[in-house]
Amino acid sequence: MGFKNKQGEDGVVVRNKARLVAQASKGFKLFQMDVKSAFLNGFIEEEVYIYVDDIIFGGSSHALYSKFSEQMSREFEMSMMGELQFFLGL
């Protein structure tokens, strides 16, 4: 797992990247979720900028990735897109 912050000219973090690598040798099944990221009716006192496109997650047991999927769906408006067949890289 690796993290990388990109800073603008004024030193403010403008992008935060996280790289997660799942090893095939661990037998993980990988899944993808789509995150709805529109805040149409919310009031925010501070400025917070978040960009989330999709989430790829995996686990070695069906119970673990089902529980994670349910918890994320309760907290955020998401749709499960199913098991990944392939991905080019993270």
3-state DSSP call for residue 87? coil
- Written as tens digits, the pLDDT of the chain (90 aa) is 445 666 667 766 556 555 555 445 566 677 666 766 555 556 656 665 666 677 777 777 888 888 888 888 888 887 777 777 777 665
Size (the chain), residues: 90
pLDDT of residue 22: 47
User: Sign of dihedral through CA atoms 40, 5, 85, 71?
Assistant: negative
- Domains of the chain, residue spans: 24-38+50-84
DSSP for 16-54 reads: EEEE----GGGT-EEEEEEE----SS---SS-------E
